[in-house]
Structure 1
Amino acid sequence: MSAQQKRNARKKKNSKGKVVFLIGEVLVLVVLVVVLGLVLKTTNKDRGITKYEIDDVEGNSEVIDKWTTDENMQKYTNIALFGVDSRNGKLSTGTRTDTIMILSVNNNTGEARLVSVYRDTYLNLGNDTYNKCNAAYAKGGPEQAISMLNMNLDLYITDFVTIGFDGLMAVIDAVGGVEIDIKENEIKHLNNYQASMYATEENPGKITTDYEAITESGLQTLSGYQAVAYCRIRAVGNDFGRTERQRNVLQAVLDKAKNASVSELNEIAEEVFPLIATSLDLDEILSLIANVANYEIVGSSGFPFDSNITTGKIGSKGSCVIPLDLTTNVELLHEYLYPEVEYSPSPEVLQYSQQIESDTSPYVGTMSVDEELE
C-alpha cells in the first residue's frame, strides 16, 4: 500500500455497515472488571480466582527491547482480556475466545483505552500457522493467545484476565436480571440458544440450569441464562447485531452493578470469582484498581480498523475478517493506543502482512461484511 493510500485510510470516515467497534464485547469484561474491583476493595479477598502462571509468552525482539528500555513505553500497563465460550468452567486450552481485548492504561494520566480484536481476524497464530485469531487460545491457552497478539500487533503484553460466559450469567442473576426490549424476530433464535445451552443427560458438558422460553416480544426482565442466550444471537443482524445486543445487556448490568449493595457484591464474588483465571495476583489487582475512580476510558475501538477491513471465505477456514493491510492496521493501532510514542512496524509485522495478503487476496470480496460470519 502506498503512503497516499495509508493517509487516505486514516482519513476515511467509518461506514455504518462495517462498524467493528465492538462495544458490547468490550463491556462483557469491563462490567466484570468493575465488579471485581468493587468486591476486592470491599473484602480484600480473591474469593477463589484461579491464578495462572504464564512463562512462555513470545513477542518481537525489537518491540520487547523498546518496551523494557523506553521510559515513554514503561508508563503504560497492557493487559489482555479474554471472554471464552466455556460452559464447564474450563478456562485454559480447548475453548475458543468469543472476546479478545487489549486494555492499555497510562499510569501517569489514568487514561485507559480498549481495543477489541475481531475474533475471526485472519492472523499468524504462531509457528507461521495462519487462521482465525480466536483459535490461538484453543490451541495453546492464554500463552499462545497473548503471543499471537504480541507478534501480530507489535505489542508487549505479559498479563491476562479470562472469564467464561457462565460468569456473566452469575453476575446478571446476582443483580436481579436485566430489562431488555425483545424483538419478534429475535424470539426463535433466543430460545434456540437457550436449548443448545441447556444441560441434558446426552450433553452433560452444558450448563446445568433450567431455562424458561421467551414467548412474546417487548420489554421484559431476562435472567442471566436468557440474557446470555440473547447476547449470542447472530442470525438477526449478523455479528454486528450481536454486538449491539451485548451492549444493551451489559450496559444494564453495569448500571445495576454500580449501585449494588455489599451483600449483592458478596453474592457476585461467591458465584463469579471461581470462574475467573488471571496471571495477576491479588496485590497486583488491588494496585491496578487502587485509583480506579481516577481512570477515564477515553476510547474503545476495534481491530482491524473500519477503514482497512474486508471479509472473505478462506477455504476450509471459513468466513474470516481480513485486515486489508496488516501493517497499516498496526500503525493505526499504535497511533490510537500510544499517541505520544513514535512507532515503526517491526520486520515481523511486515512479513506477516505480506503473508496475509498472499493467503487472502483470492478470497477478498467472496462475502459481504454484512453477511453472518460462521
Structure 2
Amino acid sequence: MAKQSRAQGQKPMSKKEKKNKRRKRKIIIVIIELLILLGVLAWIWVNGKMDKLNTDVSFKGQDVRVELPEETQEVLVEYTTIALFGLDNREENSYSRGNSDVIMVARIDKETKEVRLVSVYRDTFLKMADLNNTDAYSKANAAYAMGGPEQAVRMLNTNLDLDIQEYVSFDFSAVAEAVDILGGVEVEITNEEAGHLNNYCVETSKVTGKDYTPLPGAGTYNLNGVQAVSYGRIRYTIGDDFKRTERQRLVVEKMVDKALASDMSTINELIDVVFPKIKTSLSKAEILSLAKDAFNYKMGDNAGFPFDRENEVVSISYQKGSQDCVIPADLASNVKQLHDFLYGTTSYQVTDSVQSISDEIVYRTGVRAKKD
C-alpha cells in the first residue's frame, strides 16, 4: 500500500522532460565514446613514439646478473638502477661495440623519485667479467668494446655488487641533437676549458654534421649541442678524467632540468629526433612506467667512482704493452661507499666475490686502501 501511494503521488514526466533525459543520456554516451577514442589515439601515439627506439631485444637481463645476498636484493628492489653508456664511436647507430667513454649508473628512488648519478671513471682498473677469459682485468671502458652492452653491464654488477638489468647507450650525435632541441645548456667556462672546447668542437662538428661558434675565452655561455658534447670530452685540464666526468654529469643535470621545464611540442621533438639515436634494453612497458612519473623526478647528488683512488694513474703491464689506469684504493672500501651513496646502506658488507676482486687488484697493482 505504501508503495502504491508513493507511485500515486509522483507526477508523470512530460514529453519535454523525457526528451531532456534522453538527450542527457546521449551526451553521456558521446562523452564516454570520445574518452575511449582519445585513449585509443593516445595509445597509438605512444606506441608510434616507442617504435622509434632502437630496442635491444637480444639483451637478456638474467645473463648479466651476479649472485647477491638476500638482504642486498631487498634493498636494491626499492630502486630502479640503469647503466648509461656514451660511446666514442664515429659512426651513427653503431651500438654493438666501442669504448664506452661515458659510464654512468643512474639510480631512481621509486618512492621519492630522486635521481642520483655515479660516473665510473673509464680508466678504472676492474675485472672484465669476460665469460671467455675469467681472469681478464682492464680499463672499465674496455668491457663494452670486448663484449658490447651485455659484458659492460655484467662488469658493473660483478665489480660493484649491483643488480643492473637494463641499459641505455648513446653517441655524440644523440647528445648534440638533444641539447639543441632543448635550446642549449648554460655553463660557466674557464679560459683553459674554452681553448680545449674549441679544439674538440672541430671533430665533434664533423662527426655530428652540426655547426658551432668558437668561444672567445672564459665566461658563462649557453652551449649548443656541439659545444656541450665537446665540453664533456675535455680531459686535459687539472683533474684529468675525474674533472671530465664532473663536466659530463653537469651537462646531464642541465639537460634534465631543461627537459622537465619543456612544453609538449619540445618533448615530442626530442622523442622524434633523439629516440632513433639511442639503443636500450628497456621495453615499451618499462619506458612508459618510468615516463609516467617523469615530471616528478628530481636530481639529487652525483659522484665519481672510485671515491678513493691512487693519486696518480698507474701503468699496468700487459702482454701487448701497458696501460695507464685509475686504481681503486681499494675496491672493497669503495663499493661500501657506493652502496651508502646510492642506497643508504651505511654498514654494507661486500660479497666474497668483490672482496676477491679487490684483493686481486691490490696484488696486481700494490695499491691498498687509504688509512684514516
**TM-score bracket, shorter-length normalisation:** 0.7 to 0.9
Quick check: 1:88–1:207 contact (8 Å CA) kept in 2?
no
State the 1:93 CA deviation.
Answer: 2.9
Percent identity, aligned pairs only, is 40
- Residue in structure 2 matched with residue 89 of structure 1 by the alignment: 92
The aligned runs of 1:45-124 (5 Å cut-off) are 45-46=49-50, 48-53=52-57, 54-55=59-60, 57-61=63-67, 63=68, 66=70, 71-124=74-127
Please give the alpha-carbon distance, in whole angstroms, between the structure 1 residues aligned to 2:143 and 2:303: 21
Task: Give the conservation status (yes or no) of the 8 Å contact 1:168–1:224.
Answer: yes
CA 1:52 to 1:154, structure 2 compared with 1: closer, same or farther past 3 Å? same
| 1:211 Cα offset (Å) | 4.4
CA distance in 2, matches of 1:350, 1:82: 26
Distance of 2:352 and 2:177 partners within structure 1: 45
Counterpart of 2:285? 283
Cα contact 1:101–1:116 (8 A) shared by 2: yes
Amino acid corresponding to residue 341 of structure 2 in structure 1: Y
Q: For 1:252 and 1:41, how far apart are their aligned partners in 2?
A: 30
CA displacement, residues 314-362 of structure 1 (integer Å, 9 cap, x when unaligned):
2344221111121222222223333358643222212211111111118
Q: Scaled by the length of structure 2, what TM-score is found?
A: 0.74
Task: State the match for 2:365 in structure 1.
Answer: 360
Q: Is the 8 A contact 2:88 2:100 kept in 1?
A: yes
Structure 1 segment 307-318 matched on structure 2, within 5 A: 311-315=313-317, 316-318=321-323
Q: What do the CA deviations read for 1:172-224 (whole angstroms, capped 9, x no partner)? A: 2112334444443334322221223343xxxxxx3333444444554444321
RMSD of equivalent CA atoms: 3.3
Q: Which amino acid aligns with 1:60?
A: V
Cα distance in 2, alignment partners of residues 43 and 292 from structure 1: 18
Q: CA shift at 1:287, angstroms?
A: 1.0
Is 2:198 the partner of 1:196? no
Partner in structure 2 of residue 5 of structure 1: none
Q: Once the 2 structures are TM-superposed, how far is the Cα of residue 131 of structure 1 from its aligned partner?
A: 0.6
Distance 1:178 1:347, change over 3 A: closer
Asked if the contact 1:117/1:303 (under 8 Å) is kept, the reply is: yes
Pair 136,214 (structure 1): closer, same or farther in 2 beyond 3 Å: same
Q: How many residues align?
A: 317
Q: Following the alignment from structure 2 to structure 1, what is the Cα–Cα distance between the partners of residues 64 and 251?
A: 35
Q: Which runs of 5+ in 2 are unaligned?
A: 1-41
Distance 2:55 2:217 in 1: 43
Query: Is the 1:153–1:349 Cα contact (8 Å) retained in structure 2?
Result: yes
After TM superposition, the structure 1 = structure 2 runs for residues 98-247 of structure 1, keeping only pairs within 5 Å, are 98-126=101-129, 127-199=134-206, 206-237=207-238, 238-246=240-248
Shift of 1:41: 11
SS in 2 for 1:57: helix
Which AA in structure 1 matches 2:268?
N
Cα deviation, 1:25-55, whole Å, max 9, x if unaligned, reads xxxxxxxxxxxxxxx9995232511111313
- Structure 1: state its 5+ residue gaps: 1-39, 200-205, 365-374
State the Cα distance separating 1:148 from its structure 2 match.
0.5
Query: Given that residues 115 and 302 in structure 1 are in contact (C-alpha distance below 8 angstroms), is that contact kept between their aligned partners in structure 2?
Result: yes
Query: Contact 2:85–2:104 (CA<8 Å) still a contact in 1?
Result: yes
Q: Provide the rounded CA distance (Å) in 1 between the counterparts of 2:44 and 2:265.
A: 11
CA 1:258/1:130 → structure 2, altered by over 3 Å: closer, same or farther? same
Alignment match, 1:337: 342
Rg (Cα) greater in structure = 2
Q: How far apart, in 2, do the equivalents of 1:101 and 1:220 lie? A: 25
Deviates most, 44-53 or 167-176? 44-53
Q: Aligned equivalents of 1:344 and 1:182: distance in 2?
A: 41
Aligned-partner residue type, residue 63 of structure 2 = V
Structure 1 residues 88 and 158: CA distance shift in structure 2, 3 A:
same
